[in-house]
Structure 1
Amino acid sequence: MAATRVIVSASSTVTTSLLKKTPLRAPTPSFSLCFNYGKNGHVLQKRRLFTCKSIYNPQVQIKEDGQPETLDYRVFFLDNSGKKISPWHDIPLHLGDGAFNFIVEIPKESSAKMEVATDEQFTPIKQDTKKGKLRYYPYNINWNYGLLPQTWEDPSFANADVEGAFGDNDPVDVVEIGDRRANIGEVLKVKPLGALAMIDEGELDWKIVAISLDDPRASLVNDVDDVEKHFPGTLTAIRDWFRDYKIPDGKPANKFGLGNKAANKEYALKVITETNEAWSNLVKRSIPAGELSLV
């Protein structure tokens, strides 16, 4: 019988919009919606603020089905009632004050290629496969890696800034440079610092460079120049890692747009806003979903 474990993510920063009676569709990038609830879950008061810290702490659980490093291993996300939710669709993107939720798929210093299963119901995290075999990076990734919820790189959109490359049909990736090794399924509160425009076999695959707000050096870094000052060599190391990781498998190196450099925070926020809007159109079915799960 497959093993099942339930883990409470102590560092979760998901808002109370995970309650059953509050839908999570159609987020608004410029502000947070803050809710006060009665015991029955009905909204008593709603107001628009840039911060609402009282609603950041409801815990999200993750449930592991199967054994790690097997084909049937899945990490599901549950709300407070134990109901399955999608980490891609149901966890809010925006937290206010320039902070965003970041979902960890691959902890730093590990090599199993974990990812949200965008074509499965509730989009659990699983290990990627190729020709029926589990996929691993040829060497460990040196940063926490995962996704921004409620974002989507539209494969029908040609980005004029990046050689007209089309989106890769996935949520936006995040490279979190903090010191702590996170766990699969953790939800961290991060701030973006820059963006790398990776082109993978002709598809645009954004890498948002960010840092957890819990990191001791988080207050020191607010843009790409600060990263170079306080994390010297990190931006080059991230670019080179993602450029070269497919070479051991006999594939060509990945390319990068935007002058082969990390764009600044302002540009990163532009990418997040645009991909959040694309996701909103996707879940509203304004754009064909294809094989993607919208549940």
Structure 2
Amino acid sequence: MAAATRAIAVASNTTASCLLFKRPLLLKRSSLCFKNPSGAKRLFSCRAIYNPEALQIKQEGQPETLDYRVFLVDNSSKKVSPWHDIPLHLGDGVFNCIVEIPKESSAKMEVATDEPYTPIKQDTKKGKLRYYPYNINWNYGLLPQTWEDPSFANSEVEGAFGDNDPVDVIEIGESQRKIGQILRVKPLAALAMIDEGELDWKIVAISLDDPRASLVNDVDDVEKHFPGTLTAIRDWFRDYKIPDGKPANKFGLGNKAANKDYALKVITETNEAWAKLVKRSIPAGELSLV
């Protein structure tokens, strides 16, 4: 059976948006449309499928310089986009997450969405490297194959438009992770941050290899086993720009964390937006689709 045919055949019996194989499988930005077990029809899109465990982290330049980049590469040293080429959904409510900022650090690292292979770099403002005014207390990263569409006004969150980036993840586990590390996480909650009028979702999740991962499966479990964490996350992201003289960020959905089901809804919608982006159904602008 041809590789692409095999992928589609397997996809018809799974909720996974992209499937893991031992070797990369190129689908040339093809789209898969199938029904999940609940009967809902959802569109997922794959370009290249990689087993994240086979990828390596490659650094170019020196940390805390304008030239510093963190790439993901396969076993032939080919660069792989952490945004486009890593599968999102692994089945059973588990997702891949790529770490951009390790906990207890302050350099504002992010995927360079406008550069080929979208490496991770330190953000800049007026040519200077950006740092948070204090350390972030959780691992911070992105969900691959998601995109917050800047042309879409979300009626549930004050009509705010997407921020043109992948969806952010706040991983609350105890271990400090590495830049570029790929984690298998389960979403627990969602915060609808509004940053200067743009909707910037924060998915609260935990890595499956964390010792307390089995204890938490929804927003109420976070309050029980990580008391105060959701409030601390909201307050941190609300206030981190204030030392720079900017106003506090706002939050929609009643200023509270939404539950797991809502987080999954956000992930599904932003994955579908990403699929339209890479199919070029929506203009990419300066975004790199490589």
Q: TM-score, normalised by structure 1?
A: 0.85
Match for residue 65 of structure 1?
60
Q: 2:289 aligned to 257, 279, 294, which one?
A: 294
Where 2:267 maps in the other structure, the secondary structure is helix
Cα gap change, 1:57/1:207 in structure 2, threshold over 3 Å: closer, same or farther?
Answer: closer
Aligned length, in residue pairs:
260
Which amino acid is 1:19 matched to?
P
Match for residue 139 of structure 1?
134
Where 1:266 maps in the other structure, the secondary structure is helix
Contact 1:120 1:292 (C-alpha < 8 Å) held by counterparts: yes
Runs of 4+ in 1 over 2 A off after TM superposition: 14-18, 20-32, 55-58
Q: 2:21 aligned to 16, 40, 49, which one?
A: 16
Match for residue 156 of structure 1?
151
The alpha carbon displacement at 1:81 in A equals: 2.1
Match for residue 222 of structure 1?
217
Which amino acid is 2:82 matched to?
P
What is the aligned-residue RMSD (CA, Å)? Answer: 1.8
Unaligned stretches of 5+ residues in structure 1: 1-13, 33-54
- 2: distance between equivalents of 1:30 and 1:228? 34
Q: 1:206 aligned to 172, 192, 201, which one?
A: 201
Match for residue 130 of structure 1?
125
Q: Does 1:284 align with 2:279?
A: yes
Where 1:16 maps in the other structure, the secondary structure is coil
Contact 1:16 1:58 (C-alpha < 8 Å) held by counterparts: no
- 1: distance between equivalents of 2:249 and 2:203? 16
- 2: distance between equivalents of 1:190 and 1:111? 23
Larger mean CA deviation between 264-273 and 22-31 belongs to 22-31
The alpha carbon displacement at 1:82 in A equals: 1.5
- 2: distance between equivalents of 1:60 and 1:31? 29
- 1: distance between equivalents of 2:285 and 2:26? 28
The residue correspondences of 1:162-181 to structure 2 (distance < 5 A) are 162-181=157-176
The residue correspondences of 1:227-238 to structure 2 (distance < 5 A) are 227-238=222-233
Where 1:92 maps in the other structure, the secondary structure is coil
Where 1:184 maps in the other structure, the secondary structure is coil
- 2: distance between equivalents of 1:144 and 1:96? 22
- 1: distance between equivalents of 2:97 and 2:237? 19
- 2: distance between equivalents of 1:92 and 1:20? 11
Cα gap change, 1:267/1:18 in structure 2, threshold over 3 Å: closer, same or farther?
Answer: farther
Unaligned stretches of 5+ residues in structure 2: 1-18, 38-49
Match for residue 37 of structure 1?
none
Cα gap change, 1:65/1:269 in structure 2, threshold over 3 Å: closer, same or farther?
Answer: same
Query: What's the % identity of the aligned pairs?
Result: 81
Cα gap change, 1:25/1:181 in structure 2, threshold over 3 Å: closer, same or farther?
Answer: farther
Contact 1:17 1:24 (C-alpha < 8 Å) held by counterparts: no
Contact 1:88 1:123 (C-alpha < 8 Å) held by counterparts: yes
